């Protein structure tokens, strides 16, 4: 089982263990979809419960949100480039694009932290209203996922640097890229249904 290698597939799919890990990660992403769906549902239930505190219109700044979105979308693109280089068996390319993705991820987190500080300064804390509790829960969970993704990417960069592109490392790169794209998709939903809807409605 551990021995069989199917050379006709891309490297990350060649061993059975790799195939299982990737499938397992897809199933995990299924669970993550349910998790975020629940967070969104809660936000929709509570979004009007501002009890006199700041509302979405008071808080959201279009320019900042666009920058955040731009950073994250670009990082998804660079992550795609890393996979492209991995398929071409170009280790340095992989390392470069993973590092760029990681930096963009850190920029995203940094900006989000500043955004939160700004909100808190204007009196919009988690404890202010149900609307804000659900907002911070949703954004915070996403932000925490991105933070974890950055740390994870760092671990993988180190492993690729030490071991090169093997069955194991390519599988890990592929899985972290799935994770990263997933977080991007979640962000699109946040962008549309939290920010845009909040500013327009």
Partner 1 sequence: MGNGIKFSEILVTGDPLILASQIAILLTSIAIVAGLTYFNKWSWLWREWLTTVDHKKIGIMYIIAGVVMFFRGGMDGLMMRAQTSQPGLEILSSQHYNEVFTAHGVIMILFMAMPLLIGLMNVIIPLQIGARDVAFPQLNALSFWLFFSGAMLFNIAFVIGGAPDAGWTSYFPLAGKEFTPNVGNNYYAISLQIAGIGTLMSGINFIVTILKMRTKGMTLMRMPMFTWTSFIASIIIVAAFPIFTVALGYMALDRIFGTHIFTISGGGEPMHWANLFWLWGHPEVYIVALPAFGIFSEIIATHSRKNLYGYSSMVISIVGIAILSMLVWVHHFYTMGSGPVVNSVFSITTMLIAVPTGMKIFNWLFTMRKGRIQMTNAMLWSLAFIPTFTIGGVTGVMLAMAAADYQYHNTMFLVAHFHYVLIPGVVFAVFAALYYWWPKMFGFTLNEKIGRWHFWLFNIGFNMTFMPMFFLGLKGMSRRMFTYQEGLGWEPLLLVSFAGSLILAAGFAAFCYNIYWSFRYASRDVSNDPWDGRTLEWATASPVQHYNFAKLPEVTGIDAYWKMKKEGTTGLIKEEIEPVHMPSNSGIPFFMGVVFTIVGLFLVFEWLIPALIASFLIFVGLIMRSFDYDDGYYVGVDEVTKTEQSWRGDL
Query: Which residues form the interface with partner 1 (CB under 8 A)?
Result: 1-3, 16, 19-21, 23-24, 27-28, 30-32, 34-35, 38-39, 42, 45-46, 49-51, 126-131, 133-134, 136-137, 151-152, 155-156, 159, 163, 168, 172
Whole-angstrom distance, CA of residue 134 vs CA of residue 153: 29
Total Cβ atoms within 10 A of residue 63: 7
Whichever of 36 and 195 has its CB closer to partner 1, that residue is: 36
Whole-angstrom distance, CA of residue 86 vs CA of residue 58: 45
Give the nearest distance from C-beta 201 to partner 1 in angstroms: 17
Whole-angstrom distance, CA of residue 199 vs CA of residue 56: 6
Give the nearest distance from C-beta 67 to partner 1 in angstroms: 28
Give the nearest distance from C-beta 134 to partner 1 in angstroms: 6
Give the nearest distance from C-beta 121 to partner 1 in angstroms: 18
Structure tokens at 94: 């992989």
Backbone angles phi, psi at 146, to 5 degrees: -65, -45
């Amino acid at each position: 089982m551990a021995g069989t290698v199917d050379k006709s597939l891309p490297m990350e799919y060649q061993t059975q263990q790799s195939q299982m890990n990737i499938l397992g990660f897809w199933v995990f992403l299924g669970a993550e979809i349910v998790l975020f769906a629940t967070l969104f549902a809660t936000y929709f239930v509570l979004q009007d419960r501002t009890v006199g505190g700041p509302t979405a219109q008071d808080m959201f700044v279009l320019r900042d949100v666009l920058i955040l979105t731009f950073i994250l979308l670009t990082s998804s693109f660079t992550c795609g480039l890393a996979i492209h280089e991995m398929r071409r068996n170009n280790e340095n390319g992989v390392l470069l694009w993973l590092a760029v993705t990681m930096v963009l991820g850190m920029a995203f987190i940094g900006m989000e932290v500043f955004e939160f500080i700004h909100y808190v300064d204007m009196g919009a804390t988690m404890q202010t209203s149900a609307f804000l509790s659900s907002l911070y829960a949703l954004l915070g969970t996403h932000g925490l996922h991105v933070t974890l993704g950055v740390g994870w990417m760092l671990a993988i960069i180190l492993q690729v640097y030490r071991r090169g592109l093997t069955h194991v490392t390519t599988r890990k790169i592929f899985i972290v890229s799935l994770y990263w794209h997933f977080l991007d998709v979640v962000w699109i939903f946040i962008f549309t249904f939290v920010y845009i809807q909040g500013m327009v409605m």
